[in-house]
Amino acid sequence: MKNQKTKTELLIIACSAGGMLLLIDLLANLKGDVGFAVLVIVHRNDKYQSSLEQMAQMKCKLRVKSAEEKEVIQPGVVYFAPAGYHVLIERNRTVSLDASEPVHYCRPSIDVSMQSAAEVYGSGVIAILLSGANRDGADGMRAVYKYGGITLVQNPADAEIDMMPRAAIETKAVVSILSDEQLKQYCRELD
């Protein structure tokens, strides 16, 4: 599925309501020696303490951490968008945390992160959008597709809440619609 001429530099996995278990499974299926970075965007409220990164680290072979301001993005690391901040990727491939207005009522916004990543990494991006209850991610997937990246969505029939995958599919910018098992297999095969 992935164009062999294009090297994967950044994998983005994004979800909202109903996507957490599959997200953890996808991270658990990644090899421990991948040559790309992973950015995870999950809609979560900054008013509540979260152990999401710790839960992911228990299952994932890669180092898992919360993205930090001005941090250089490194291959083999899973960066979680911190609650309450949009994560933008700068031209020099560093993280910029932004506390501007929510997008689709969300901060972090999937659209904001995918759009900035697409502009920086171009065809080196793979974006996977999972279950969620709004349209966040649809415009981001369109940007990844426009810049030559690979866009994959969870089959709406498998999603606990199908609104986010359906919204992305409606953009006509989705390369493949995959079942949960197909998404796990895809992640297992990534280098």
Phi, psi of 181 (to 5 degrees): -65, -40
Tell me the pTM: 0.93
Which CATH code of 3.40.50.180, 3.30.70.1230, 3.40.50.300, 3.30.565.10 fits the domain covering 10-189? 3.40.50.180
What is the model's pLDDT at position 12? 98
136 a catalytic residue: yes
50 a catalytic residue: no
Instruction: Express each pLDDT in 125-176 by its tens digit.
Output: 999 999 999 999 999 999 999 999 999 999 999 999 999 999 999 999 999 9
Do the beta carbons of residue 159 and residue 131 sit within 8 Å? yes
* E runs forming strands in the chain: 10-15, 37-42, 63-66, 77-80, 86-89, 95-98, 125-129, 150-154, 176-178
Please identify which of the residues 16, 113, 116, 131 carries the catalytic annotation: 16
Structure tokens at 105: 């009522």
**Sequence ranges of the domains in the chain:** 10-189
Structure tokens at 146: 């426009």
43 a catalytic residue: yes
Please identify which of the residues 104, 131, 136, 139 carries the catalytic annotation: 136
Instruction: Express each pLDDT in 45-57 by its tens digit.
Output: 666 666 778 888 8
Instruction: Express each pLDDT in 87-114 by its tens digit.
Output: 999 999 999 998 888 887 788 999 999 9
